[in-house]
Chains A and B, each alone.
Chain A
Amino acid sequence: MEITQKREDNNFEIAISGRLDTVSSPQLQSEMEAVTAEAESVVLDLKDLEYISSAGLRVILLVKKAMDQKGTLVLKNVSETVMAILDVTGFSTILTIENDKEQVEPHESTAD
C-alpha cells in the first residue's frame, strides 16, 4: 500500500494505492488520525486501490466518524471491485462517493 497526501489549507486529498488489508491498514489509520485532527475536508482517491478487506473498511469508518464531527469526507474514483465490497457491507449508503465516469470506465480502444 502507498499513501500520497496533498494538502491545501485544511483540505486534504489522500490517494491510497495497492492493497488495504490487515497488515497495511494500521499505517493508514495512524496517518488518517493525524489528517483528521486538522482537516476540514478529506477526499480519499481510491483510483489505484486494488484490494480492501474489513480491516480497511474499519479505518474508513473511523475517518467517516471523525469527519462527521467537523467537516466532510468524500471517496472518489472507486473501482467496480471495491464498490462491490462497499455495497455488500452497506458502506456505499453511509459514504459520499463521487465517481468521475471517464476515469472509472475508460473508453475501450477499438481495434484497427
Chain B
Amino acid sequence: MKALQTEAKIENLQPVLGFLEEYLEDMDCPPALTMQLQVALEELFTNICFYAYAPASGDVLIMLDKQDSILKIYLADKGIPFDPTAKEDPDISLDASQRPVGGLGIYMVKQIVDRMEYQRVGEMNVLCLTADLNKVGKHGKI
C-alpha cells in the first residue's frame, strides 16, 4: 500500500497523477490502461478540489493498493458529503447541439474501472475504485 496526502487543489494534479503513474509503472501496466486510470483519478481528484471544501481548502488522501491483479485506488477527504456513485449518467446518444457541456467525468470513471464504491465514514468521504489489471483489452479498460 502506498499513500499520498496533499492539499486538494488543481496545482497538485500533476504530482497526484505522477504518483499513480509511478505505481503502475512498477507493475508493468500497459500505457493505454495507465492513461485511463489517470483519467479516472483526475476526474475524482478535481471534483474534490472544486467542491469538497469550497470556498475553504483541505487535504485529500490517496492510497494505492494491489493484491494479485486487483488494483484499488482510495480517495478520502473531509469535505461536504458527496456520493459520485449516485450521480445520474449523462445521455451519450445526444447530438452535439443537444449535449450539455460537462458532466462526463464521473461517467468516464464508471466506464474505466470495474467498480466504484462510496462510503461516508464519520466526517470523511471515502471512494474506492477497483480495477482488475488482468481484465484489460487491447486499448485498456474501455
A positions within 8 Å CB-CB of B:
21-23, 50-55, 57-58, 61-62, 64-65, 68, 80-81, 83-85, 87-90, 93-95
Contact = CB atoms under 8 A, between A and B. Distances in A.
Contact of A89 (B14, B35, B96, B107): B107
A54 B111 contact: no
B102 A58 contact: yes
A55 B111 CA distance: 16
A21 B4 CA distance: 20
A89 B32 contact: no
B58 interface: no
B84 interface: no
Contacts of A50: 35
B139 interface: yes
A36 to B, nearest CB: 13
A80 B36 CA distance: 12
Nearest to A57: B104
Contacts, number: 79
A84 B139 contact: yes
A94 B95 contact: yes
Nearest to B139: A84
A94 B97 CA distance: 10
Interface of B: 10-11, 13-14, 17, 31-32, 35-36, 38-39, 42-43, 46, 92-97, 99, 101-102, 104-105, 107-108, 111-112, 138-140, 142
Contacts of B31: 81
B93 A23 contact: no
Contacts of A51: 35, 38-39
Contact of A68 (B35, B97, B107): B97
B101 A62 contact: yes
Contact of B13 (A21, A64, A84): A21
Given A21-B42, A23-B14, A84 B32 contact: yes
B104 to A, nearest CB: 4
